[in-house]
Amino acid sequence: MVRDAIESGCDGIVLSIIYPTAFENVIDQAQTRGIPMVAFNVNARGTEDGKITRVCRDVYTAGRVLASAVYGHIRPMSTVLVTLHSKGISLENDVGRDGYFCAGFDLSPRIIKFVKEGIVFCTIDQQPYIQGFYPVVQLTHTCRFGLKPADIDSGATLITRENIDVAAGLCDEGYR
């Protein structure tokens, strides 16, 4: 699909790059043709080479925010499970049991429900509205005015039971 867009002469490309090398060829092709690109949500390849800018949360900062929030709540000698949307891991069946402590990333209707119920202690809001909106604005400014896209950190807002109702309302309105 991205190759087709490049071949058709598109004006800009927005990608979610979850694997560091998966899009290298198309990124090089787009750069050769002068097509600006912005990574949204995830840019696993980083931005050091200047080929592509990003609108996503800084994963290291988000990790530090999350670690600081949960540090005092995990008992010494606990076993900690870190997972990336793994198959077979179920909040309802696994994490909700006694002895499990859960915190993570993203807001979804299920995660909102689990934060409200105390099954999930906290989560990091990645602000998908910002991650979707600003790449389009940046590419529009590039095409109309020649302005180069810039990296934007969409933040690492900690969502807990204390502020979940505000976040849930913004999700319902399409802003999160």
**Which whole number is the average pLDDT over 7-12?**
92
Q: Could you tell me the domains of the chain?
A: 2-57+128-154 (3.40.50.2300), 59-125+161-172 (no CATH)
Within 13 Å of residue 114, how many CA atoms lie on the same side as its CB?
24
Find where tokens 């896209």 sit: 149
Answer with the residue of higher pLDDT: 104 or 51: 104
- Contact call for residues 14 and 38 (beta carbons, < 8 A): yes
Question: CA 33, CA 170: separation in Å to the nearest integer?
Answer: 39
- How far is Cα 128 from Cα 57, in angstroms, rounded to an integer? 10
For tokens 């050091």, what's the residue? 48
Q: What is the reported pLDDT for 120?
A: 85
Question: In 3-state terms, what secondary structure has residue 162?
Answer: coil
pLDDT of residue 104: 84
